[in-house]
Each structure stands twice: as structure tokens, then as C-alpha cells.
Amino acid sequence: MKHKGGLMILALTTEGENVFQHFGQCSSFTMLEIEDGKIKSRKMRNPDAEGHCMNSSFLKASKVGTLICGIIGAGAQKMLKEEGVQVIAGVEGRIDDIVAKFLAGELKPGEGSGSSHHGHKHGHSCNYSLKQ
């Protein structure tokens, strides 16, 4: 199913020309305004701080409807879902190629687990209550 709806904001974790592979460590997002299946605008945005809590808040404040990323943990996915952000995880490749696939309906929320519990602990401090 191709994206044909009204105006939406699509965000992709970004490193250079590619999808960055770790949502919680992402310091740059490609943000696209899409209307009726066409890109209206494209810009790079940098959140003020890194970490899944800060990135989740940044995407909410930016009114993102869909996030495309590589690895994203269950806690971050839960936060985004609660804010109404659809997540397409487990994605690799060039931003332009991935956006074309999204617009063609070849990528859908919920596809690709992208989840990782990567064997070490991080000291996160955020204002979200997460039950894991």
C-alpha cells in the first residue's frame, strides 16, 4: 500500500547518506514532510541531546508520524508508540532508497524487529516510567 494520506512527517535516523543503526545514539535525523505521497520538504535536524528518551521527546515535539531506523530498544519503541509515532525498525541502506521504498509502500510499521538488547547496561535517566 502506497502512502497517499494527507500531510505527515517522516523521520529517519541518519549518518551521512545512510540510515544510522542505533536510535538511542542518533544525533541527526532526516525529516521529510510528505503530502499525498510526495515529498514537500526535506531537512536535517539535530536533537539537543542524545539518548532514547531525548530522541523520543524530540520526535514528539517535531510531530513525527513515522520513524525509520535500524536498532531500537523495546523501551524506546514503547515511548514512541504511546506518542502515536509508528516505527519501522531493522532498516539498513541509503536514505534516498529507503524513502523511495516507503513511498512505494514497500516498508510498513511493525516490519523488522530491529530490537536489540546488546549485552551491556547504560545509565539512562529520563522522565519516563518504563515497565520492562
Count of alpha carbons within 13 Å of 75, Cβ hemisphere only?
A: 17
Q: Give the global pTM.
A: 0.80
Q: What does the buried/exposed string (b/e) look like for 54-88 if buried means 16 or more CB atoms within 10 Å of the residue's CB?
A: bbbbbbeeeebbbbbbbbbbebbbbbbeeeebbbb
Task: Provide the pLDDT confidence category of residue 110 given band limits of 50, 70 and 90.
Answer: low
**In the CATH hierarchy, which fold is given to the domain comprising 8-103?**
Nucleotidyltransferase; domain 5 (3.30.420)
pLDDT (mean) for 71-97: 94
Q: In the chain, what are the domain boundaries?
A: 8-103
Q: Which three cell numbers stand for residue 38?
A: 510526495
